Amino acid sequence: MEAATLPHPLALFIVTEIRRARGAAGMTQEAFGRAAGFSASHVSAVEGGTRALTMDFIKGGDRALTTGGMFERMVEKLGVPSWFLPWLDAERTATQLRCWQPSLVPGLLQTADYARAVIRCDDTLTDDEVDRRLADRMERQVILTGGNAPQFIAVIAEAVLRRAGEDFRQVMAAQIKHLIALAERPNISVHVLPDDISMHVGLTGPFSLARSPEHTWLGEMENQLGGVVIEKPADVDTLMTRWETVRNEALPRRHSIELMKEVVNSWT
């Protein structure tokens, strides 16, 4: 992959710090690369922002500079878990994205107010950490409206739309209107899985899929302890099969938009 992994300032910050530490140690790109397990041209490309910053490179930098894992810890401290880095890169370069969400609006489709409320559910986060994660999430959404925007298809459970107590209804109404507006874009489809489909394979949890420019697929699943990126072909195939099952149970695009409008109208 040939661009910086992270679509926000974290990648630039980490690369800058590694480059600064390399210079302070008096190491050329070639010497650093040998110690880190990469070619000099690879190091040059990462430092120049034309090749992906991966966790392998970050760990290699820690080994080469004998930092005791400082750069890896820095990534974790700044709010991007190491497991998520490959998915962020796959998401940013994808030609197609698929997402099934039974409990929340997908992150790429969230409004700032909705996203803040979701992030705020983790009461261990400081205000600064919440603000940083919110900014990162909003910046990720740029991929859907850029010049090379992927085709994005999301399926969400109807219950997601109706999860709105009196204190959250205004935020949810704005969120649904945002979904409707996004669903009118040619590259975005939002489908609703009706509540009357009581049992289906998607009940086991959310997942996402990304298709690379090289026509390969990568999966991602999140859970209470973090998440996992799915690369093994057999496992990706399983997710693809489950995606097709969930997608086939969902309402068509236009019917889904009408249902979303009905939900908002029922609150006024």
Which range among 138-152, 172-186, 212-226, 241-255 shows the weakest confidence by mean pLDDT? 212-226
Residue type present at position 134: L
First to last CA, the chain: 48
3-state secondary structure of 266: coil
Assign domain 83-265 one CATH number from 3.40.50, 3.30.870, 3.30.1360, 1.10.1740. Answer: 3.30.870
| Cβ within 8 Å of residue 56, ≥6 positions away | 37
R_g (Cα) of the chain, nearest Å:
20
| Cβ within 8 Å of residue 14, ≥6 positions away | 53, 58, 71, 74, 75
Share above pLDDT 70 across residues of the chain, in percent, rounded to a whole number = 91
At residue 79 the predicted structure's pLDDT band, cuts being 50, 70 and 90, is: low
pLDDT in tens, 46-77: 888 777 677 788 899 999 999 998 888 777 66
pLDDT of residue 8 exceeding 50, the answer is no
| Cβ within 8 Å of residue 54, ≥6 positions away | 5, 85, 86, 89
Tokens 């205004």 correspond to: 170
pLDDT of residue 45 exceeding 60, the answer is yes
Nearest to 264 by CA among 161, 112, 111, 114: 161
Tokens 């009940």 correspond to: 203
pLDDT mean over 186-211: 89
Q: pTM of this prediction? A: 0.72
The residues spanned by each domain of the chain are 9-77, 83-265
Assign domain 9-77 one CATH number from 3.30.70.1450, 1.10.1240.10, 3.90.1310.10, 1.10.260.40. Answer: 1.10.260.40
At residue 6 the predicted structure's pLDDT band, cuts being 50, 70 and 90, is: very low
3-state secondary structure of 18: helix
pLDDT mean over 17-38: 93
Instruction: Give the whole-angstrom CA distance, residue 166 versus residue 150.
Output: 36
pLDDT in tens, 117-136: 999 998 888 898 888 889 88
Q: Indicate the average pLDDT of the chain.
A: 87
Query: In DSSP terms, which residues pair with 221 in a beta bridge?
Result: 228
pLDDT in tens, 222-237: 877 677 888 899 999 9
